[in-house]
């Protein structure tokens, strides 16, 4: 039985679909963008957001990401275009740098969110697992272009590279590390890990995006050490190696640094009280326990700004809609089971939920403390 000795490379960088011919690189980049968009939109909708928000953001972020990706590539490898500046726009030949894509796309998305009063931190969290999936798909375009491979190797999964695509110093070699494949597989695993972290680990809002940044830059560091394609160097090392190191350090610092004072939901947002059927806001003492979520938290955003108050109201409405109208939501489900189901899927809610009995006990304890203090003062007098 024949055993795979190497991975063959495509003989053509184009894909024919009937009468149409697509450049493989551009096709896979477009597919990556599409899947990234769909994943982000789905996660945004699951949080109660309007799916059309993501469509409108994408209209600005995607072009900005492409422009940023190309600008970064041209700026860091400008010597490749000297005397042939027309090639600077030939993105179908490759040359879309991920750093520029993330910077350009993120900047456009953040500006759009600010202008339109959308939750930037929530958007970044929704995009966190979508980006590595998009990158993994886009990396397949490098396979068709026979680019972004590593040093020579005799491993069974070594990638065959045509002599026209080999560096001068490696003309005698035939198989190389498929670094683009390593990165693609890592990115898919990273996306799954981010989803797991989102469900199991309590992080301040927005920090999930830093998990993606740290995870991606970690593997990119080693891929830069393996790659043999021509690249601009700084102090003897590939410039992307320096960028990767700096961005990784910044992401890790952001994950380990102090709490985000502006958007730490479990500690700064209003506590939810489970009264046996619905989540209510104890800050509105006059609100009846059976009132609608909008009435119950009409002033819950006080001290947090209009945007924070809107998010609080949205959380209450979404949680109560998921629980149901006092009957436990799902058929045959008790109110207690409904609460457990909702809070289990939303750590930001579960961290702030207490029962009505706990509020009563706490209030009673406070009154007892006040009485004790008054008695002590009278005795002292």
Instruction: Give the pLDDT confidence score for residue 133 in this predicted structure.
Output: 97
Q: Which of 252, 261, 265 is nearest to 217 (CA)?
A: 252
C-alpha to C-alpha distance for 148 and 178, rounded to whole angstroms: 8
Instruction: Give the pLDDT confidence score for residue 272 in this predicted structure.
Output: 53
Instruction: Give the pLDDT confidence score for residue 230 in this predicted structure.
Output: 79
Burial grade of 177 (CB within 10 A; 0-12, 13-18, 19 or more): buried
Instruction: Give the pLDDT confidence score for residue 85 in this predicted structure.
Output: 67
Q: Which of 312, 242, 316 is nearest to 275 (CA)?
A: 316
The CA distances from residue 370 to 249, 325, 365, 375, 377, in Å, are 50, 38, 9, 9, 11
Residues comprising the chain, all counted: 381
Instruction: Give the pLDDT confidence score for residue 335 in this predicted structure.
Output: 56
- Per-residue pLDDT tens for 45-57? 998 899 999 999 9
C-alpha to C-alpha distance for 236 and 239, rounded to whole angstroms: 9
- Per-residue pLDDT tens for 321-373? 655 544 444 555 555 566 566 555 554 444 455 555 544 554 455 445 554 54
Instruction: Give the pLDDT confidence score for residue 100 in this predicted structure.
Output: 87
Instruction: Give the pLDDT confidence score for residue 79 in this predicted structure.
Output: 67
Which residues are registered as beta bridge partners of 325?
none
Instruction: Give the pLDDT confidence score for residue 98 in this predicted structure.
Output: 81
Q: Which of 352, 332, 346 is nearest to 272 (CA)?
A: 352
Instruction: Give the pLDDT confidence score for residue 320 in this predicted structure.
Output: 59
Tokens representing 249 are 């350090």
Extents of the domains making up the chain: 14-256, 265-380
Instruction: Give the pLDDT confidence score for residue 26 in this predicted structure.
Output: 85
Q: Which of 350, 295, 296 is nearest to 322 (CA)?
A: 350
C-alpha to C-alpha distance for 311 and 262, rounded to whole angstroms: 13
Instruction: Give the pLDDT confidence score for residue 186 in this predicted structure.
Output: 97
The CA distances from residue 339 to 102, 196, 198, 363, in Å, are 38, 21, 19, 23
* Residue 9 DSSP symbol: P
Instruction: Give the pLDDT confidence score for residue 279 in this predicted structure.
Output: 55
| Residue reference for tokens 């750590």 | 347
Alpha helices in the chain (DSSP H): 24-46, 51-76, 98-116, 120-127, 130-138, 140-145, 179-200, 208-226, 239-256, 265-268, 293-296, 305-323, 335-345, 347-350, 356-380
C-alpha to C-alpha distance for 203 and 263, rounded to whole angstroms: 11
Regions of the chain short of the pLDDT cut 70:
1-4, 78-79, 81-82, 84-87, 89-95, 258-381
Q: Which of 271, 270, 266, 275 is nearest to 336 (CA)?
A: 275
């Amino acid at each position: 039985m024949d055993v795979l000795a190497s991975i063959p490379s495509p003989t053509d960088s184009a894909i024919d679909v009937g009468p149409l011919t697509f450049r493989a690189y551009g096709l896979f980049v477009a597919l990556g963008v599409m899947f990234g968009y769909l994943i982000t939109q789905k996660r945004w909708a699951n949080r109660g957001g309007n799916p059309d928000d993501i469509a409108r953001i994408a209209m600005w972020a995607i072009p900005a990401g492409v422009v940023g990706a190309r600008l970064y590539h041209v700026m860091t490898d400008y010597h490749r275009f000297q005397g042939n500046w027309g090639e600077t726009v030939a993105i179908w030949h490759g040359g879309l740098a991920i750093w520029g894509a993330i910077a350009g796309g993120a900047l456009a998305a953040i500006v759009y969110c600010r202008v339109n009063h959308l939750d930037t931190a929530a958007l970044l969290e929704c995009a966190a697992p979508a980006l590595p999936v998009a990158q993994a798909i886009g990396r397949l375009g490098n396979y068709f272009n026979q680019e972004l491979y590593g040093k020579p190797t005799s491993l069974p999964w070594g990638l065959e590279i045509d002599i026209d695509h080999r560096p001068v110093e490696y003309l005698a070699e035939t198989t190389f590390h498929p670094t683009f494949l390593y990165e693609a597989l890592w990115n898919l695993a990273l996306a799954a890990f981010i989803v797991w972290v989102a469900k199991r680990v309590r992080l301040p809002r927005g920090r999930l995006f830093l998990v993606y940044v740290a995870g991606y830059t970690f593997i990119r560091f080693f891929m830069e050490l393996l790659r043999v394609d021509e690249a601009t160097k700084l102090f003897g090392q590939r410039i992307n190696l320096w960028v990767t190191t700096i961005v990784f350090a910044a992401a890790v610092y952001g994950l380990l640094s102090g709490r985000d004072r502006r958007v730490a939901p479990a500690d700064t947002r209003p506590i939810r009280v489970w009264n046996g059927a619905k989540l209510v806001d104890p800050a509105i003492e006059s609100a009846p326990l059976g009132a609608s979520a909008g009435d119950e938290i009409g002033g819950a955003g006080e001290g947090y700004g209009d945007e924070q108050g809107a998010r609080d109201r949205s959380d209450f409405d979404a949680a109560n809609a998921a629980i149901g109208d006092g009957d436990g939501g799902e058929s045959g489900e008790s109110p207690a089971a409904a609460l457990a189901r909702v809070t289990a899927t939303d750590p930001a809610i579960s961290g702030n939920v207490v029962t009505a009995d706990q509020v009563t006990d706490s209030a009673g304890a406070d009154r007892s403390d006040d009485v004790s203090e008054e008695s002590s003062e009278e005795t002292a007098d």
